[in-house]
Amino acid sequence: MTLQTAPINRKELFLRACRGEVLPRVPVWIMRQAGRYLPEYREIRAKHAFLEVCKTPQLAVEVSIQPFRRLGVDAVIVFSDILIPAEAMGLQLELGDAGPVVPNPVRSKTDVDRLKIFDPEKDTGFLPEAIRRIVKSVGPEVPVLGFAGAPWTLACYMVEGKTNEGFATVKSFLYREPKIFRGLLHRIVQATIPYLKAQILAGATAVQLFDTWCGELNLQDYEDFALPAVQEIIAGLGGAVPVIYYTKASQHLLPAVARSGANVLSVDWRVGLAEIRKTLGPQIALQGNVDPAVLFAPPEKIREAALAAINSLHGHGHILNLGHGILQHTPVDNAQLFVETAQRALLQHATTAAQVR
């Protein structure tokens, strides 16, 4: 059977993918697509510190749109960082070359009690403002994504205080003081719901929760601590927009992850998409999952990896992406090839590719 559909725009394509529908082509974007592999990003960063870019809407908008302009990706993610709410909750935040540092990490009940539930428009108003301006600039036919860190992953940074040298400090907090640690997760949940709602109100088409470090937990601890916090956030958003839940190295957690309430599960390259679909069923859409290191390979290999991911789900509830953020020294041409491969790929059920405006 041939599907002769009228052209649809990128936003509709993206929303259809989130709903698990059969697609005329697979939408594609890249985690960390605004970043140091782009010369125009480096140019801005040469003049402005990372946090200054995050907090100055004009600059945040510019770098958010750079990958859309350069690569023609199918979604624009607002430029920010998962640690912005940690700062708004009262922690100090330094984002230097060695990764984020929190000089006053959370280690006790007093530290948890001190964390503020902030007002997202008043205290982090630069973020919804950047979203409003991005939406205005790219127009109503391009999806704009908001995001936040998932509570466990954010807690890792808030407790460890620096990019992890293992997770001994945060895990010993969890094991020694489970009640206080749950209190910390709960605080993060209470701060994150209004923070995401403000992004949705500003015009975000969908939001993504980043749970980069959930794979560090065993199934029981994931189910006891990390999962309920994610479920609470997703339930708190009340289905206003689709939620994408990114988890890394989570193959031992997948059936639990699927109970998060997210519409889309974003996964890494450690498990095949077809296998995950078989385990979780067609209700949950999938995003991913090419290894970012593949973008250092010759063009044929990049094309092959992108097509392998696409063909494993046959354009059914799939958003093509990498399995983690794009790496700093990735050649821009290779990122471009990755995007173009998805946009030109002929799906078995569609006669003509790319009927997307």
Q: Give the footprint of ligand CP3 on this chain (CB under 6 A).
A: 31-36, 45, 50, 77, 79-83, 95, 99-100, 147, 163, 210, 212, 325
Amino acid letter, residue 117: I
Residue 25 bears catalytic tag? no
Residue 357 bears catalytic tag? no
Measure the CA–CA gap between 126 and 152, rounded to whole angstroms: 25
Considering 16, 36, 70, 303, which one is annotated as catalytic? Answer: 36
| CB-based contact 292:272 (threshold 8 Å) | no
Measure the CA–CA gap between 92 and 110, rounded to whole angstroms: 16
Rounded to a whole number of angstroms, the minimum distance from the CB of residue 95 to ligand CP3 is 5
| CB-based contact 337:281 (threshold 8 Å) | no
Rounded to a whole number of angstroms, the minimum distance from the CB of residue 6 to ligand CP3 is 31
Residue 36 bears catalytic tag? yes
Tokens, residue 148: 């936040």
Rounded to a whole number of angstroms, the minimum distance from the CB of residue 14 to ligand CP3 is 15
By beta-carbon proximity to ligand CP3, the closer residue of 95 and 201 is 95
Hey, CA dihedral for 152, 157, 158, 161, is it positive or negative?
positive
Residue 32 bears catalytic tag? yes
* Strand, helix or coil for residue 140: coil
By beta-carbon proximity to ligand CP3, the closer residue of 45 and 349 is 45
Rounded to a whole number of angstroms, the minimum distance from the CB of residue 154 to ligand CP3 is 9
By beta-carbon proximity to ligand CP3, the closer residue of 8 and 29 is 29
Q: Which residue is nearest to ligand CP3 (CB)?
A: 212
* Strand, helix or coil for residue 21: coil
Please give the distance of CA 216 from its chain centroid, rounded to a whole number.
Answer: 18
Rounded to a whole number of angstroms, the minimum distance from the CB of residue 236 to ligand CP3 is 20
| CB-based contact 228:184 (threshold 8 Å) | no
Considering 37, 41, 157, 246, which one is annotated as catalytic? Answer: 157
Considering 16, 45, 182, 303, which one is annotated as catalytic? Answer: 45
By beta-carbon proximity to ligand CP3, the closer residue of 163 and 172 is 163
Residue 268 bears catalytic tag? no
Please give the distance of CA 169 from its chain centroid, rounded to a whole number.
Answer: 25
Rounded to a whole number of angstroms, the minimum distance from the CB of residue 34 to ligand CP3 is 4
Considering 81, 211, 221, 268, which one is annotated as catalytic? Answer: 81
φ, ψ at 241 (rounded to 5°): -140, 165
By beta-carbon proximity to ligand CP3, the closer residue of 17 and 34 is 34
Closest CA to 105 of 114, 234, 236: 114
By beta-carbon proximity to ligand CP3, the closer residue of 20 and 67 is 67
Task: For residue 120, give every residue at least 6 positions away whose Cβ sits within 8 Å of its Cβ, in sequence order, or none.
Answer: 88, 127, 128, 194, 195, 197, 198, 199
Considering 10, 32, 132, 187, which one is annotated as catalytic? Answer: 32
| CB-based contact 159:173 (threshold 8 Å) | yes
| CB-based contact 118:125 (threshold 8 Å) | no
Torsion of CA 122, 127, 130, 132, to 10 degrees: -70
Active site residues: 32, 36, 45, 81, 157
